Chains A and B, each alone.
Chain A
Amino acid sequence: MGYLRPYRSFVSYIDRSREYYAAQGYSKPYAWAHHDDVPFTPLRKPLSGCRVGLVTTAGRTQAEGMIGAGRLMRESYAESANPPPTHLFTDDLFWDKEATHTDDVDSFLPVNRLAEYTAGGRIGSVSPRFYGVPTDYSQSRTSQGAAPRILEWCREDGLDAVLLTAL
């Protein structure tokens, strides 16, 4: 059924967080990444022959995600996907802790669900590792430090494609 609404239905986190931090007395709003040009690469072979990996913004351990833990604690990482992780650290990240929880890793990093797609042949294989880039509010550290490091790991693992999941 359709509805008529005088507002957009989905939440604007850019607007919401700006107003929230302004109410806390922070006068300089966070400046979000914006790109006029966005790169695009089509798959170069059938998906059924591709090896696919996953990137998460969650941390491996509490120490790595702790507020104030500093830059070194937010280093990107590669971790074995076998056995799949049963818990990742998300407490310090910006997500709705009143409405939901992150006790089920597959709800934000679908390692088990992706692996199931190999059984039916939809994808060729999954990466032996998954990759983490714990949220760092510095865009230059993310794009110039974490991103090339993760690309290197993806190449080491022979990936054809990677799915990024942001909490």
Chain B
Amino acid sequence: MGCARDIVEECGVARFVFTDFPLGNPCGKPWDAEMQRSIVGSALNLLDRAWMPRTTVQTPFRWDNDAWRDAFMRVDESNREALAQEGEERRRRQAEAKTGR
């Protein structure tokens, strides 16, 4: 069960239940037991019925809105400079940690 379709399918797995949600809740929305039961049920059906590897099933569920699709790890002119600075800062901290300073 997962939400990162390209990563899982590139890797290749025997059976894959894909839910098109933001990363974090591959087994259903938080506190939505009915949806979770349905997704686990899809996984059990696939376990039972798939006959060849790389079988992907997509569940019918949709997130409340699509804003997350463009927002996640977004890179554009508004944040390009900030991201470059973040990277510099992280490398500086890692170098310091390595030299034990």
Mark A residues whose CB is within 8 Å of B.
9-17, 19-21, 23-26, 32-43, 47, 52, 68, 90, 94-104, 106-110, 112-114, 116-117, 122-123, 161, 163-167
> Which residues from chain B contact A164 at a C-beta distance below 8 Å?
1, 13
A166 and B40 form a contact (CB under 8 A): no
Taking the nearest CB of chain B, how far is it from the CB of A121, in angstroms?
A: 12
Q: Is B101 interfacial (CB-CB < 8 Å)?
A: no
Residues of B within 8 Å of A, CB-based: how many?
57
B83 and A24 form a contact (CB under 8 A): yes
15 contacts between A and B (CB under 8 A): A10-B20, A13-B4, A25-B88, A34-B12, A38-B54, A40-B52, A42-B50, A47-B48, A68-B97, A100-B24, A107-B31, A109-B27, A113-B36, A122-B44, A163-B40
A26 and B26 form a contact (CB under 8 A): no
Chain A, Cβ-Cβ closest to B94: A68
Residue from A10, A90, A116 whose CB has the most chain B CB atoms within 10 Å: A10
A161 and B47 form a contact (CB under 8 A): yes
B7 and A32 form a contact (CB under 8 A): yes
| Binary per-residue interface labels of chain B (38-80) against chain A in the complex, 1 for a CB within 8 Å, 0 otherwise | 0111011001101111100000000100011101110100001
